[in-house]
Structure 1
Amino acid sequence: MTHLFRVLRQALALLALSTSMAFAQSAPWPVKPVKIYVGYPAGGLADVMARSVAQLMSESLGQPVVVDNKPGANGNLAAEFIAKQPADGYTLCLCSTVIESVNPFLYEKMGFDPLNDVLPVAATGRIQLFLVTKPSFPAANLNAFVAHAKSQSTPLTYGSAGAGSSPHLLAEMFKRSAGFSSTHVPYKGAAPAIQDLLAGHTDYMFDPGLSIPHIKAGKLKIYAVVSGSRSAVLPDTPTLAELGFKDLDYDTWFALYARTGTNPAIIAKINEATNKALADPSLKARYRELGAEGVPMSVSGIKAIATRERTAFGQLIRELNIKAD
């Protein structure tokens, strides 16, 4: 009798669990505001991107999507925060894919596991990088630029948004591929790096879009786009791949991340709402002003990008022994 009672009790427990799971999967979401923490300062490109997407997501989801900033450690602080929140889809972060592809190699200690504690749920856009110099730089095209760089007894200098940033890593990959030497000058962000290039304190840089108005005004000269496709803003500028550097076709990607364990149905809703926002004409126009592009993408597509970055950049960081500033 005792055995029968135990079997019945276990059966009832399993029934209750399955009923609870079925209810959780069918329960409406969202029923309260969704919060997006941006891993970078207010007013920056990622912040503007988050607020543009959030406004349109609110309309699709029927709940406010609130944006806040939690900058620091190249996006790590925001990702660590959501990794410690409930896996219910109400707390997300917007970070670059570098939190899982680059940061693990740059930082000796991270307060979360980027490959197991968080997962990308929707791409929010990509930023293309541009190889730019001063107008007075004595080279009319990329071949001439490389030839000039090789001829110098003192290496050229290039600025970047900081050690381990995408502009830094791609500049290192480019000079290796082209076969010349140059000296890295790291800055606390792309804006001061651009200002020093304009002032003539450095020779060139790989810029994430801030150079566009200066290029159009004739204050900077552009040689190439570091991407798999040409820029919609500067369509006459060839890509590095078109100019013979076949493996240098990387972009800086941003994505919404959720805590691992979030219900797949909720992830699908976030992905769908984000992709719908990226297709909106007003958002496309806003992104174009920023030199950005929204590319609707599946979760597996984002993971594939991060995996490719991790393989290429991780090896480079180890070889050069790059550490976070």
Structure 2
Amino acid sequence: MFKPSQIISRRAGLKSLAAAALLGAVGMAPVAAQDVFPSKPLTIVVPFAAGGTTDILARIVSQALQQELGQTVIVDNKPGAGGNIGAAAAARAAADGYTLFMGTVGTHAINASLYQKPGFDPIKDFAPLTRVATVPNLLVANPKQPFKTVKEMIAYAKANPGKLNYGSSGSGSSIHLSGELFRSMTGLDMVHVPYKGSAPAITDLLGNQIAVMFDNMPSAIQHVRSGKLRPIVVTTAKRSPELPDVPTVAEAGVPGYEATSWFGLWTQAKTPAPVQQRLHAAIAKVLKDPAVIKKINDQGGDIVIDTPAEFAAYIKAESAKWGKVVKDSGAQV
């Protein structure tokens, strides 16, 4: 039988052991939480309105990522200022990998040249993960417009200076710059009408409130297939397999014209390297999924999978290219 002093001593020892175990568990909790990523829902910030190409691609990827990561992936649309509002919000997000940014050639290769204060640094504030897709832009017109070809459109614009307006998803977007490049190469007097995304611009185009638009193919192709919009040309060097009867701009009479849009995923720049690697691996895996490939191909897009280093180098080259376009075309916000 234990003596009273022994019982007290044993109880004290048990309390000490329990306290030590508790402290150990508490001390280990943050480490365990860091080791298991993701442990809560993720968000993909889209800097344009719902219904546009950036939004369409983000939702295709988010659905596949949910299954791959085992967590809900929310798409959060923050439109405005040619993508700058959403980009700035993503740049200020916590550096924990739970906020992704579906950016574009506009947000990460054009806006720095077009805006004096975009509100974020596309290089310093973001960690590039991979491109997701490239898509052609498609010049579409309301069927009520009195032209069906580029030559007819040029003739109409020259006969009616300042009366032909074209919409875009926002100043600085690839859609805007595609129009500016066309305007500068043809010498036409066209009026730019910026929106907070492709979807509201398409709505006005369908209502004939704007005449034409150089839209990303995924957000325009359904209206072309239904006959609600008239396709004029694609902006790439080669015709699109999805619309093989639509000529390129060069074929239609403007030699040397070419413009392609691309979309990619970033996370906050200071996100830990292991988390960045986990995200890149998961995104690369879902982009190889035949179901995801088909969905993006059906929209007129082509899948692209980069390493982060390859993506960073590509952004640098694209920034130089589009910076020159902005300067040469005289594009303004």
- For the aligned pair, the TM-score class normalised by the smaller chain equals 0.7 to 0.9
Comparing 272-281 with 314-323, greater Cα deviation is found at 314-323
Give the C-alpha shift of residue 96 in structure 1.
Answer: 1.9
Look up the match of 2:47: 39
Q: Residues 150, 67 of structure 1: CA spacing in aligned structure 2 closer, same or farther, 3 A cutoff? A: closer
Instruction: Tell me which amino acid in the other structure corresponds to 2:220.
Output: S
1:180 partnered with 2:167 = no
Q: For 1:284, which of 281, 293, 305 is the aligned residue?
A: 293
- Counterpart among 87, 91, 100 of residue 99 in structure 2: 91
> Which of 224, 228, 239 is equivalent to 1:230?
239
What do you get for the CA RMSD once the two structures are aligned?
3.4
CA 1:319–1:248 in structure 2 vs 1: closer, same or farther (change >3 Å)? closer
Instruction: Describe the superposition over 1:54-95 as per-residue Cα deviations: whole angstroms up to 9, x where unpaired.
Output: 232233334443443444433333433343344443332222
Does structure 1 retain, via aligned residues, the 8 Å contact 2:109–2:316?
yes
Do the aligned residues in 1 keep the contact of 2:47 with 2:86 (CA within 8 Å)? Answer: yes
Map 1:1-325 → 2, pairs under 5 A: 27=35, 29-42=37-50, 44-135=52-143, 137-152=145-160, 156-209=164-217, 210-243=219-252, 245=254, 247-288=256-297, 290-318=299-327, 322-324=331-333
1:225 deviates by 0.9
Match of 2:11 in 1: none
- DSSP 3-state at the match of 1:254: strand
Tell whether the 8 Å contact from 2:140 to 2:215 is kept in structure 1 after alignment.
yes
Moved more, 201-210 or 239-248: 239-248
Shift of 1:215: 2.2
SS at match of 2:123: coil
Q: For residues 171 and 200 of structure 2, what CA distance do their matches in structure 1 show?
A: 14
Mean Cα deviation higher: 251-260 or 46-55: 46-55
Once the 2 structures are TM-superposed, how far is the Cα of residue 131 of structure 1 from its aligned partner?
1.1
Q: Deviations over 1:127-153 (max 9, x none)?
A: 431112244555553344434544556
Superposition deviation, residue 32 in structure 1: 4.6
Question: Based on CA coordinates, which of the two structures has the bigger radius of gyration?
Answer: 2
How has the CA–CA distance of structure 1 residues 117 and 144 changed in structure 2, closer, same or farther, with 3 Å as cutoff?
same
Partner SS state of residue 239, structure 2: coil
C-alpha distance in structure 2 between counterparts of 1:82 and 1:197, whole Å: 30
Deviations 1:158-194 (A, max 9, x none): 2323333322211111122234332323344333433
- Distance, in Å, in 2 between the alignment partners of 1:119 and 1:149 is 43
Q: Which moved more, 1:304-313 or 1:314-323?
A: 314-323
- 8 Å CA contact 1:227–1:239 kept in 2: the answer is yes
Aligned sequence identity (%) = 37
TM-score (norm 1): 0.75
Q: Structure 1: how far apart are the matches of 2:273 and 2:208?
A: 51
Alignment-mate amino acid for residue 254 of structure 1? F
Give the match's secondary structure for 1:102: helix
The separation in 2 between residues aligned to 1:242 and 1:68, in whole angstroms, is 39
- State TM-score, norm by structure 2: 0.74
CA positional deviation for 1:277: 1.6
* Structure 1: unaligned runs, 5 residues or longer: 1-22
Question: Offset of 1:255 from its aligned partner?
Answer: 1.5
SS in 2 for 1:211: helix
